[in-house]
Structure 1
Amino acid sequence: MDRRAANTLGAGMLAILAVVFVTAVVANQALLGGLRIDLTENRLYTLSPGTRSLLGRIEEPITLYLFFSERSARDFPALRTYAQRVRELLEEMRAASGGQLRVQVLDPLPFSEAEDRATAFGLRGASIGPLGDRVYFALAGTNAVGEEAVLPFLDPAQEAFLEYEIARLVFELMDARRPVVGLISGLDIEGGFDPVSRQVASPWVVLEQARQLYDVRSLSADTAVIDAEIDILWLLHPRDLPEQTLYAIDQFVLRGGRTLAMVDPFAQMDPAEPMATMGGLEHVPASSLNRLLDAWGVRVPPDDVVLDDVSALTVSSPGQRPERHLALLGVRRDGLSTSQVTTAGLEQVNFAFPGHILAEADSPLRVEPLIQTSPQAGRIPAAEARATPDPAALRERFTPEGQPLTLAALLTGAVPSSFADGPPARPDEDSPAHTAATEHLASSRGDIHLLLVADSDVASDRMWVQVQSFFGQRLPSPFASNGDFIINALDYLGGSEELLGLRGRATFQRPFTRVEALRREADTRLSETLARLEQELAETEQRLAALQAAREDAGTLLLSPEQEAEIDRFSQQQVTLRQELREVQRDREANIEALGRRLKILNIGLVPLLLTLVAIAGLVLRRRTAV
C-alpha cells in the first residue's frame, strides 16, 4: 500500500469516527435527554425516598445558597472535589423538587455582594493555608416568608450526613410542625457543671441533634402527669422513678403515646454522687422499667450484663497493650435489623455493659429485635461486672451461651395497664397534678409503640462521636452510628418516615481495594524477606562470637580466616536479600501500574464505546418503530 492510499484510508477512518461521534451525540440528545443513570456502587447520586417525598411536599419556593470560595480553595483539591459533590447533590434535589427548590452557587470574594450576603446570614470564612486566605464553604436557605436556616460549615468529614443535613435544612424552611419530645433523664445529657471534674460540660451531641429536629422538653423525674402535647416520651436511664411517674408513663403509653425507653443494668455515665459517697451509701448505677414491663410480658433482667466475644471493642490503657473488652460492644451490620427503618443502613452501634431483653411466651406484645449480639455472647451478674474493671479478669468469667441476645427491640401490640387497681395512692391528693389527671385506662386504646433499649450509655458522646472545636463551633465527627440510631428511633416514633433513610450513607471517597490488596501482599513479602535478613544477621553474629571464643588468641582484634569467610558469606547473602527486596517493590509497582492501565482502557475506551452502541441501537429501533 502506497503512502497516498494509506493517507486516504486514515482520512476515511477519521471520517467514520466523526460520523459515529456525531450520531452518538444526536442520539443521546434525542433519546436520552434528561435521563440520569446512577452507576456508582453505593448509589451516591440517587436521592433517598425520604428526600424525594420531602421535596415533593414543598408548597412554596425555597432558595438555597451554596457559598464556596472557589478561588481561595484552588490549592486544596480535596475540598474542591467535595464542593463538586455538594453541587451535584443540590442539583439532584433541585431536579426532584419540581421547580420548588432553587439553588444558587456563590463565590464570596472579598468586598463582593456575595460576601455581604454570606455575612448577612451570619457566616464566617475560615482562614486556611500559609497566606491565611478566608474560605467560605456553607449553605444557607430562605423560604417565601423570609425565614432563614444555615449550615455554617460543610465539613468533608461529615459527608455521610450530607444529604440528611441538606434535607433537614429544607425541612426547617418548610415550616413543618416539629414533634414534641418529653425527656426524662437520670443522666447529665443536658450538660452543665460537673461537680466531679469541676468543669462545665456541653450537652450531648445526640441531644443537640434532637433539638434541631424536635421540640425537646425536659420533664421532672417525679412528674405525675405527662402533658397531652407530648408526642414522644424519651426515657433515658429512668432510675428510681416514683410510683406516680411510673403510672403517668403507663397511662401515656396506653393512650397511644410513642415511647423510647433506654434502661441500663450498669450505666457507665452514672457516677456516684459525691454526697452519697461521703455518706457511705452504696450507689447502684442501674435503671429499670420492669414495674411496667412485667405486666406486658417483657422485661430487662436488672442483674444481667451482656458480654460478647465477637463484638468486643479493643481498648487501651496508658502503659498497657490494647486488648478486647467483652463488655464494650460494637454491633455491626450482621447484628442490625435490615427490615426496620431505625437500623437499616447503619454501620455500627456501640454499647457499654448492656443488658438484654426477654419476652415471655404468652406476652401480648410483638417483639421485633432491632439489635442483637452474636451467638458468642453470654451474661454475668451486674454486681460482678461492676467489681471487675480489668478486661482480662472479665474474660475469665465469660462463658458463651451459643445464642444471640437482644439489645434493642420494637414492642407493639395491645396491653393492659400495669396498675390494675387504678392510680397509686398519693399523699397530695389535692395537688394540681392530680386534679389534671385524665381518666384511668385499664388497657391500651390500640397497639402501643415502645422502642426498648437495654443500655443508656449508647447515647453518650464517648461511645460514638468525637467533638472538635472549629472557630468556636462544635463539629462532631462520628465513628459509630449511635446518634443515627437514636434519631431514627425518634423519627419513627414521631410518625415521620421522610428523614429515616438519610443517615449512614456511603461516601464518594472509595478505597482502591485491589490496589490495597496488592500493597498488602507486597508488604507481607517484604516483611518476610526482612525477617530472613534479620535472622541471617543474628546467626552470623552468633557464629562470629563462637569463632572468636574458640580462638586461642581471643584477645586480638584481628579477624581469623574463618571469621573473614563468615563475614563474606553474610555480605553475599545480604546482597541477595536486598535484590529480593527491590524485586518485590518493583513487582508491586508494576502490578499497580498494570492495573491502572487496564482501568484507563476500560474508562476511556470501553465505556464510551458501549454507550455509543447503546445510543445507536436506540436510534435504529426508534426509526424502525416510526416506519
Structure 2
Amino acid sequence: MRYPLRTGMTLSVILLLFLAFNLVWAVKLPDLRQDFSQQKTNTLSPEVVHLLTTLESPLDFYYFNSSLPAQKSSILKHYAKRVEEKLRAFEHAANGRINLHIIDPAPFSEDAYKAGLYGLRDQPGFFGLIGTREGQAAQRIQSFDPENEPLLEYEISHLITQLQHPEPAVIGLLSGLPAEAPIEPLVLELHRHFDLLELEPTADHVPSRIKTLMLINPRELPEKTLYAVDQFVLNGGKLLMFIDPLGKGDSKATASATRLDGLLAGWGVSMPSNKVLVDRTYAPSEHQPATFTLPRQAMNTHDVSTWKLDTVTVSNSGALFSLDKSRATFTPLLRSSRQSLLLDSGAVDSAFPTRGERHVIAARLEGPAYSAFADGFGGQPSGLQKATQIHVVVVADTDMLSEPPSGSAQNANKLFVVNALDNLAAPQALANIRPRAVAGHSLNLLEKRREAAERAYQDQAADLEQRLAQTEKEWQRLNPEGTTLGTEAVDTNTQLQALNKERLRLPMELHALKNVLYAPVQRLERNIQLLVIVPLPALLGLIAWGLFQWRRRRCPVPPSAFY
C-alpha cells in the first residue's frame, strides 16, 4: 500500500515543481535557439538581418491565416506554420521594430472584412500578410504560395522595403524598335510601377539619375549609344536587355551587330545572329515551331524574375551561351525543352524537331566584365575598361514584349519584365537577399535519377510519338468528323483497321517504355520512404522495451504480490 502512495506523492511533487518552473522561472531564461538544418533555412540570412537593422520606424504585420476551411490542403497548413515561424523570426531579429499580429479570421467577422478590404485572397481561406507603417500606404502579400518558398525571405523583405521606401524607382527605357512596334501596353504598365524615363535612340550617354536601364533591340542602335550602354554597365548601372536575333543586314546594322557581339563577349556571353529557336514540346503546333509557351518547369523558380509566373511566351527567340573563359556567373532564367533546335531563320517553317537539347533563352550575368571599346569611341579617350561586378539580365527575344493574340500571355510577359526590373532597381540591402534552399526537398541523387529517366524516355519515345502523331493524322484524314442525322454507317475497311491497331498499340508501347525506364526511380523512392518511416517507430519501440527492462530490474515484483 505504501508503494503506490509514495509513487503518487512523488509524481504530484514533480508536477507542482514543473508548473512552478514554467510560471516563474521559464520566462526569465534567455531565448536560445539552434538551427540544425543543413542549409540553415530556419535562421534568417545575414542579408535579411542587415536589412532589419536599417529600419527607420516601427512596422505592424498582420498575418491572416484561416484555419476553418476544410478544403485547405495539408501542404498549405504545413506551409502556413513555416510562414508563421519565419515572421516570428523577423519580429525577433527586428528588436522591437516589427509588431506581429497573428489573426485567424472567422467567416463574416470583422477580421475577414478587414482582410478582404485590403485585397487578400480568400481562396481557400485567407493566407496573406498586410504591412503598415504610420504615415504610409499599407502593403500586402496577397497570398503565400508553397511554390515560392525559396523566395519567402525576399517576399517579406520586399514588403518591408516598400513600406520604408514607397517612392517608385527610376528606370530608363532605350529602344531600337521601330515607332510602330506594338509595345505600348508594356510601356503603360511600366509607367504604373516605375518612374520611367524614355531616352532617344541616338542618346550618347545615360543620365546620372538612372541606375537601372531597359534596353530593347540594340542591334538597331548607333555605335555611340552602345558605347554609352557599355560605360553605364561598367560604372555600376544595372541592365535588362532584350535582343532580336534577326538583323536587317545593312551596313549600319552590321556595324552595330559587331559591336553588340563584342559587348556581350565582354560580359561573358554570346548569342548567334540570324538563328531562331524551335521547340517541339512547348510549341502549340508544328505550324508555329518558333512560337511557344514556356511552363513553370522551364523557368528558374529560384530567381526573382520568375516570381508568381506560370508561363512566358516567346516568339522567334535566339539562344544564349556562356563563354568558356568568362569569370562572370551565368544563371539561366528561361530555357527551352530538350526537343529544341537552333536553326537558320530561313529553315524555321519546315522544322519540327524530335530531338535536340535545352537552350538558354534568358540569363542573369553577375561578375567581372570588360569593355567592348578598348580604344574609346569617336576620337575620345578610352573610358572604363573593366568592372569587378556587373548586374545584367539578357533575353534573346524582343517579340515577347509585343501584344500577342492571348491577353493572358501578355500579362505573364509583362510580369516577367516588371519582376526583373524591380529586382535590378531594388535597394542594395534588398537586392543582396538571395533565394534559400528549402529543407525537405528531394535528395540530389533522386533528382538526378529522375532527370536521367526523363532524358532516356524522351530519346527513346521520340520515334514512337512521331509515328503515333502520323497515325492519328492519317486516321483523321480517312475518318473525318461530319454532321450526321440519326445513326451512321461504320466504315470497316482494311486500312482503317490497321490504323486503329496502330492507335492502340503505340500508346501501350509508350506506357510500357515509361514503366521500364522509371522503375529504378520508383524503387529508389520506395526505399527512401522505408528508410524514413521504419526506423523511427523501431527506435521508439526499442527505447520503450529498454525502459521496461530497466524498470523491471530496478523494481522487481515481490513474491508476496502473487498471494
**TM-score, normalised relative to structure 1:** 0.51
Comparing 89-98 with 297-306, which one deviates more in the overlay? 297-306
Unaligned runs of 5+ in 2: 306-310, 450-524, 547-563
Report the CA distance between 1:47 and its aligned residue. 1.6
| 1:590-623 C-alpha deviation (Å, 9 max, x unpaired) | 997896353346589979x9xxxxxxxxxxxxxx
CA contact (8 A) 1:139 1:151 kept: yes
Partner of 1:525: none
Comparing 55-64 with 138-147, which one deviates more in the overlay? 138-147
Report the CA distance between 1:51 and its aligned residue. 1.5
Letter in 2 for 1:137: F
Partner of 2:378: 422
Is 2:333 the counterpart of 1:356?
Answer: no
From the superposition, tell whether residues 250 and 369 of structure 1 become closer, same or farther in structure 2 (CA, over 3 Å).
closer
CA contact (8 A) 1:414 1:447 kept: yes
Report the CA distance between 1:174 and its aligned residue. 1.1
Is 2:368 the counterpart of 1:412?
Answer: yes
Report the CA distance between 1:65 and its aligned residue. 1.2
From the superposition, tell whether residues 244 and 593 of structure 1 become closer, same or farther in structure 2 (CA, over 3 Å).
closer
Mapping of 1:152-551 within 5 angstroms?
152-175=142-165, 179-185=169-175, 215-253=195-233, 257-263=237-243, 265=245, 290-291=258-259, 294=262, 298=266, 300=270, 302-303=272-273, 315=282, 353-358=318-323, 367-371=327-331, 382-383=344-345, 386=348, 389-392=351-354, 395=356, 409-410=365-366, 412=368, 415=371, 417=373, 420=376, 422=378, 442-444=382-384, 447=387, 450-451=390-391, 455-457=395-397, 486=420, 490=424, 496-503=428-435, 505-506=437-438
| 1:552-600 C-alpha deviation (Å, 9 max, x unpaired) | xxxxxxxxxxxxxxxxxxxxxxxxxxxxxxxxxxxx9999789635334
From the superposition, tell whether residues 27 and 303 of structure 1 become closer, same or farther in structure 2 (CA, over 3 Å).
farther
Bigger Rg, structure 1 or 2? 1
Report the CA distance between 1:231 and its aligned residue. 0.6
CA distance in 2: counterparts of 1:329 and 1:67, whole angstroms: 27
Letter in 2 for 1:54: L
CA distance in 2: counterparts of 1:167 and 1:316, whole angstroms: 37
Q: Secondary structure in 2 aligned to 1:126?
A: coil
CA distance in 1: counterparts of 2:348 and 2:387, whole angstroms: 37
Comparing 42-51 with 247-256, which one deviates more in the overlay? 247-256
CA distance in 2: counterparts of 1:499 and 1:49, whole angstroms: 13
CA distance in 2: counterparts of 1:160 and 1:595, whole angstroms: 24
CA contact (8 A) 1:306 1:356 kept: no
From the superposition, tell whether residues 241 and 56 of structure 1 become closer, same or farther in structure 2 (CA, over 3 Å).
same
Letter in 2 for 1:166: I
CA contact (8 A) 1:259 1:451 kept: yes
| 1:183-203 C-alpha deviation (Å, 9 max, x unpaired) | 335689xx9689xxxxxx778
From the superposition, tell whether residues 358 and 15 of structure 1 become closer, same or farther in structure 2 (CA, over 3 Å).
same
CA distance in 2: counterparts of 1:27 and 1:504, whole angstroms: 38
Report the CA distance between 1:96 and its aligned residue. 0.7
CA distance in 2: counterparts of 1:421 and 1:475, whole angstroms: 39
**TM-score, normalised relative to structure 2:** 0.56
Is 2:82 the counterpart of 1:85?
Answer: yes
Letter in 1 for 2:72: F
Partner of 1:596: 533
Partner of 1:131: none
Is 2:32 the counterpart of 1:35?
Answer: yes
CA distance in 1: counterparts of 2:147 and 2:296, whole angstroms: 24
| 1:374-426 C-alpha deviation (Å, 9 max, x unpaired) | xx9x996644774663213x75xx9x9xxx9x976446356474674527xxx
Report the CA distance between 1:125 and its aligned residue. 5.3
Partner of 2:474: none
Mapping of 1:77-156 within 5 angstroms?
77-78=73-74, 79-109=76-106, 112-118=109-115, 121-123=117-119, 126=122, 135-156=125-146
CA contact (8 A) 1:468 1:475 kept: yes
Letter in 2 for 1:147: A
Identity level (%): 22
Unaligned runs of 5+ in 1: 129-134, 195-200, 268-275, 344-348, 424-439, 518-587, 610-627
Report the CA distance between 1:451 and its aligned residue. 4.6
CA distance in 2: counterparts of 1:193 and 1:413, whole angstroms: 31
